Amino acid sequence: MQKLNEMREMKKQLDNPHDSEKIRAAARVLAEMENRPRESYIDVMETAGMEPETDPLDIESRVDELCDVIAAKVPGGPSMIEVWLSNCLPDDIETDDPQTLLTYAEMDRGEWEGQVARWADTVRHQQDGLDGYDDRLLADKHVQGHWGVSLARFEQAVVELDDQRAMEDLLGEPTDETVDAIESLTEVVA
């Protein structure tokens, strides 16, 4: 009976990792480990009188992000892509609600090509004299008007996003940023 109660408690914690003290504590340990090399880098830069390329991690925000990743791995939770859109959407893509992009991130190749054609038709109907123009060129105009990026950039960042890349970005981004900053410092010193 005790094992059954322990399993129920574990399931309860996994169903809402944001409210689990144990999960948040483990996520905090990971966030602090990610931040340690970053703080060392910042100390070196400040000691050398140089401006650091990165800031210390906001530990509580990172804990929340890690809990989001855990929630995405639990059946019934958000998808990894939904979590990525909320936490990692590049700043150059202009939107007040990243979740509106989920539809495009979930499209297969055929659905995406159909979407590009629909956007091109919309642009053709809005402006005269565009018959015969390439669908991608017209869809690019639409995407730039809505999200401030090219069609190719939108495809790379959103449409081609998959669960694997989303999880790698979510879990690796702070470390990758620190490594990039250290490599830049190495180039300056060398």
Residue type, 110: G
Half-sphere exposure of 136 (CA within 13 A, CB side): 8
- Give the model's pLDDT for residue 14: 67
Summarised one tens digit per residue, pLDDT across range 102-125 is 999 999 999 999 999 999 999 888
Residue 131 is predicted with a pLDDT of 77
Asked whether residue 186 carries a pLDDT value surpassing 90, the answer given is: no
For range 8-23, the mean pLDDT: 78
Q: Is residue 1 very low, low, confident or very high in pLDDT (cuts 50, 70, 90)?
A: confident
State the residue for tokens 């495809």: 155
* Least confident residue range of 5-14, 129-138, 145-154, 173-182: 5-14
Share of the chain above pLDDT 70, in %: 93
Distances (CA, A) of 103 to 21, 56, 85, 110, 115: 33, 33, 11, 14, 11
User: pTM of the predicted model, to two decimals?
Assistant: 0.82
57 Cβ neighbours under 8 A, 6+ residues apart = 31, 34, 35, 38, 174
Mean pLDDT of 124-148: 88
Query: What pLDDT shows up at residue 6?
Result: 65
pLDDT tens sequence across 76-101: 889 999 999 999 999 999 999 999 99
At residue 16, φ and ψ (nearest 5 deg) are: -145, 75
Give the pLDDT confidence score for residue 56 in this predicted structure: 96
